[in-house]
Structure 1
Amino acid sequence: MPRALMFQGTGSDVGKSLIVAGLCRAFANRGLKVLPFKPQNMSNNAAVTADGGEIGRAQALQARAARAAPSVHMNPVLLKPQSAVGAQIVVQGKVYGNAGAADYQHVKGKLLPRVLESFRHLARDADLVLVEGAGSASEINLRARDIANMGFARAANVPVVLIGDIDRGGVIASLVGTRHVIEPADAAMIRGFIVNRFRGDPALFEDGMAEIARRTGWEALGLVPFFEGARRLPAEDALALAGKHEVRPAGGRVKIAVPILPHIANFDDLDPLESEPDVDLVRVWPGEALPGDAALVLLAGSKATMSDLQALKAAGFDIDIAAHLRRGGYVLGLCGGYQMLGRTIADPHGMEGPAGRMPGLGLLEVDTTLSPDKRLVTVAGSTFDGVAFRGYEMHMGRSEGADCARPFARLEGGRPDGAVAAGGRVFGTYVHGLFADDRQRAAWLARLGGRAAGHDYEAGVEETLEALARHLEAHVDLERLFSHAA
């Protein structure tokens, strides 16, 4: 078995995903074959893998940081929150079933053998496996049958580093408190701690680090300053959307409005647009109105299309979209957003809740039927305007109708995708990752009256990963970290 080290947190969103990604790149730069692993993830931001499945977007980013191809074994259990049926459970890349929160507590123990199988599969081909926990290590109410944190660490005998977030306050109490509420055998798995997102003079927290070490018996492994480049990397959780719209002041010539719905998925589709200086990307929450001067309304993907369509209508966004079109604006629906634009959505198998049918927005002459079969594939082709692209599909359902005779795109091999309305201002597609392609981003900005900056988006992600690796190398003792890996 190779060396392995697990990173758990005192809570959700303390920066575990980012730190593991940066360490993947830092250790890979030292010539090690590094692979990321997360036993259980809960996220609607997912990525297609080369082996025909799906994993959390954070693990795909970590794989990229490690210069490794994403594999379903890097995230063997993925929970994708839906609506009436709870969460969709994806095991080793394929849909396993649905379960509510209470029911899943009884299911997850049965999944531990699959988790350990995936871990051993990765371990056969690595010098170092960096494991990310989920949520909080101190959720003792969920400790029984746990597979995400100490349950996995103990079963696989993987040492743990605990991460606390000083930016949210109370980091001393959260780290020391974790030591005192978890079982002694679990606490014995923890080798050291990292304090993340520090702002200010590090000398002012030297006593704090020493006091945490004294009270826990764990080694202080790093005080990591806030990393500004984090906003340039895909976020794992939709909670990050609440802060991202405050990243920079408005002022781009092209305003793009995105309604934020309860089950928004694959929202990293927005990141490349936000990287453009000429774009003012406005996230609009229920209770707000879509801006009247938007050039484009973009409906993002959804893990619960019918539920999100109801939320869209309840918020009055359908009225705003109709007014937007009367003013001559454009509308683009991606995946679930495409399905919402059609005449009807049918769920005959009860994939999202009770079987039934509901009217869509009626802006595209298409009808969608949800089905158990899930399409997970990378794609390439060209859009209706002849511009090439590369992306991926991740959806359940099939859309058919008159507007499909004007496909949004032709994929390699000639297969049509999506639809364009007769007026040429409403578009729908199942392709994700469209705007990460520099050619597509430039074409859309030109259509909307703007101009792309001409930067290479993917190269920018690589530069940010390198900067993150340097950041961690400067503030974390990598040699001590490696020495704790077992």
Structure 2
Amino acid sequence: MSRKLMIQGTGSDVGKSLVVAGLARAFANRGLRVAPFKPQNMSNNAAVTADGGEIGRAQALQARAARLAPSVDMNPVLLKPQGGNGSQVVVRGVVAGQAKARDYQDWKPRLKPAVMESFARLSAARDLVIIEGAGSAAEVNLRANDIANMGFARDADAPVVLVGDIDRGGVIAQLVGCKVVLDDADAAMIEGFIVNKFRGDPTLFEDGMRFVAARTGWRALGLVPYFEGAARLPAEDAFGLRGARATKGAGVVIAAPLLPHIANFDDLDPLKAESGVDLRFIAPGDPLPAEAALVILPGSKATIADLAALRANGWDIDLFAHVRRGGRVFGVCGGYQMLGRLIRDPHGMEGDVAAAPGLGLLDIETVLTDTKTLVAVSGRAPTFDAPFHGYEMHVGETAGPDCAQPLLRFEDGRVDGAQSRDLRVMGAYVHGLFADDALRAAFLARIGAEAAPLNYEQSIDETLDALAAHCEKHIDLDALWEIAR
């Protein structure tokens, strides 16, 4: 029978997702059939699965670490924050509706059967399922009907290992505090703890590990140094981007405004990996840098709201000045929609605003639809004479004169995207374009940057191997296998 192990955290962004990915690759390297599972995730960074649904980007990365194709069973409930409509609720890869935070609490009992069925199906063919919790294990205010943390652990009889983040400070209080606030039955599910993101001399924290173990009765399973390669892997959410300041560096400057509902921002990860590129996420209140050769408008889960935020920050004025100077602009999905003349929302998909004027940099108009396109695609980009592969994940249809110059041509003959007459402003719905080495190199050549000899997809697997080795060295994997049941 499959064994199960749940990794919960003392809070958000403590490194649960990376720990699960590292453990998945490490146990897979030991010859085990491993699968990741997250009952409920909240993220606008999502991935398309082979079975035609969507799951959190972190679970797709964890599946890759386990050497599996991602499936909707790996993340049966995905919450995608969406402007004035609260969050879009995705169940087994398909949009089930929208819910405000308080209203969502009433959804949980109805969602539990889907969660448990997906977990059972995933477990049936695996030696080990590694489950990731959401947020903090100590969110006792949300404990009723919980499907993400201790509620799931109790229902699935899954032993828990708690991860704390020493980098943010107060890790002893994080861990001991969880034991204090949890009820006895929930606390009894926790078998051990891991202290993550340590920097410095580990001998200086030996007493800290012993103190936590003595106060909680949990086993100390690892003091894990900060993994520098984390920046090379797709992130689950935008926490790491918030508050980012533009900094000068080497290479051609590419700027991306950090919009409130930014989605699938890992589209830009391959550019960040290029030594000839100085990629800058521009924080609210900062201007778009005048020295930028390219401005990228990334994907958005609330296009109309983010368009208003773009204007409120004065980034529209900066963008028009950038274009007048001869700079280039590229829009991805929601960013592509913003570049047009008008966005209409007749079904109220994003809230109460029925229509909003776009930036007018492309002669196109978009109508947001009540159906969602979710599909992996590949083909060729004629402008760059290069192949591409990626995925569509959007609501909306876009048309107009500039679509007569499509950016992409799919293998099935369909086309996507639009370009201005001078080819300096362009956009498309397809995510993941820059992961293709040939297309990225041709694109960078257009803005005066030279691509490095980088195999991006191979670099992700190499980083996952390094993460697995990091976990093997600093976490007691034999003890984890013993704990798993």
TM class by shorter chain equals over 0.9
SS of 1:414's partner is coil
Q: How does 1:287-366 map to 2 (within 5 A)?
A: 287-354=285-352, 356-366=354-364
* In 1: Cα distance, 2:248 partner to 2:315 partner: 22
Partner of 2:478: 479
| Deviates most, 335-344 or 200-209 | 200-209
* In 2: Cα distance, 1:268 partner to 1:244 partner: 15
* In 2: Cα distance, 1:178 partner to 1:423 partner: 58
Alpha-carbon offset, residue 253 of structure 1: 2.8
Partner of 1:394: 393
* In 2: Cα distance, 1:128 partner to 1:251 partner: 44
Partner of 2:443: 444
* In 2: Cα distance, 1:94 partner to 1:420 partner: 31
* In 2: Cα distance, 1:251 partner to 1:194 partner: 35
Partner of 1:112: 112
Partner of 1:11: 11
Q: Which runs of 5 or more structure 1 residues have no equivalent in the other structure? A: none
* In 2: Cα distance, 1:37 partner to 1:94 partner: 17
* In 2: Cα distance, 1:412 partner to 1:299 partner: 26
Give 2:231's aligned amino acid: R
Partner of 1:411: 410
Partner of 1:220: 220
* In 1: Cα distance, 2:316 partner to 2:395 partner: 23
Partner of 1:193: 193
Give 1:459's aligned amino acid: Q
Partner of 2:461: 462
Give 1:354's aligned amino acid: D
Q: How does 1:275-290 map to 2 (within 5 A)?
A: 275-290=273-288
SS of 1:373's partner is coil
- 1:44 touches 1:80 (CA, 8 Å); kept in 2? yes
- 2:250 touches 2:276 (CA, 8 Å); kept in 1? yes
* In 1: Cα distance, 2:311 partner to 2:368 partner: 20
Give 2:472's aligned amino acid: E
Give 2:437's aligned amino acid: D
Partner of 1:266: 264
Q: Report the aligned-residue RMSD.
A: 1.1
Q: Against the structure 1 CA distance between its residues 134 and 14, is the aligned structure 2 distance closer, same or farther, given a 3 Å change threshold? A: same
Partner of 2:136: 136
Identity percentage over the alignment?
A: 66
Alpha-carbon offset, residue 206 of structure 1: 1.1
Give 1:347's aligned amino acid: D
* In 1: Cα distance, 2:250 partner to 2:219 partner: 47
Partner of 1:43: 43
Cα displacement string for residues 306-332 of structure 1 (whole angstroms, at most 9, x for unaligned residues): 000011111111111111011001100
Partner of 2:431: 432
Moved over 2 A (4+): 242-246, 249-253
- 1:254 touches 1:445 (CA, 8 Å); kept in 2? no
Give 2:400's aligned amino acid: G
* In 1: Cα distance, 2:79 partner to 2:67 partner: 25
Give 2:307's aligned amino acid: L
- 1:393 touches 1:430 (CA, 8 Å); kept in 2? yes
* In 1: Cα distance, 2:58 partner to 2:311 partner: 31
Alpha-carbon offset, residue 251 of structure 1: 3.0
* In 2: Cα distance, 1:86 partner to 1:141 partner: 19
Alignment partner of 1:25 is 2:25: yes
SS of 2:206's partner is helix
| Deviates most, 234-243 or 463-472 | 234-243
- 1:349 touches 1:355 (CA, 8 Å); kept in 2? no
SS of 1:242's partner is coil
Alpha-carbon offset, residue 245 of structure 1: 6.2
Give 1:316's aligned amino acid: G
* In 1: Cα distance, 2:188 partner to 2:38 partner: 21
Alpha-carbon offset, residue 288 of structure 1: 1.1
SS of 1:371's partner is coil
Partner of 1:232: 232
* In 2: Cα distance, 1:303 partner to 1:370 partner: 12
* In 1: Cα distance, 2:308 partner to 2:226 partner: 39
Cα displacement string for residues 85-130 of structure 1 (whole angstroms, at most 9, x for unaligned residues): 0000000000010011111111122111110011001001110000
Alpha-carbon offset, residue 243 of structure 1: 6.8
- 1:258 touches 1:284 (CA, 8 Å); kept in 2? yes
Cα displacement string for residues 23-56 of structure 1 (whole angstroms, at most 9, x for unaligned residues): 0000000000000000000000000001000000
SS of 2:392's partner is strand
Give the TM-score taking structure 2 as reference length: 0.98
Partner of 1:155: 155
* In 2: Cα distance, 1:244 partner to 1:476 partner: 31
Cα displacement string for residues 457-486 of structure 1 (whole angstroms, at most 9, x for unaligned residues): 111111110001001100111000001001
- 2:244 touches 2:283 (CA, 8 Å); kept in 1? no
Q: Which runs of 5 or more structure 2 residues have no equivalent in the other structure? A: none
Give 1:462's aligned amino acid: D
* In 2: Cα distance, 1:201 partner to 1:258 partner: 37
- 2:82 touches 2:301 (CA, 8 Å); kept in 1? yes
- 1:231 touches 1:244 (CA, 8 Å); kept in 2? no
SS of 2:360's partner is coil
Matched residues, number: 484
Alignment partner of 1:80 is 2:80: yes
SS of 2:84's partner is coil
Partner of 1:204: 204
* In 1: Cα distance, 2:120 partner to 2:390 partner: 30
Alpha-carbon offset, residue 82 of structure 1: 0.8
SS of 1:7's partner is strand
- 2:242 touches 2:258 (CA, 8 Å); kept in 1? no
- 1:376 touches 1:392 (CA, 8 Å); kept in 2? yes
- 1:108 touches 1:145 (CA, 8 Å); kept in 2? yes
Partner of 1:56: 56
- 2:243 touches 2:283 (CA, 8 Å); kept in 1? no
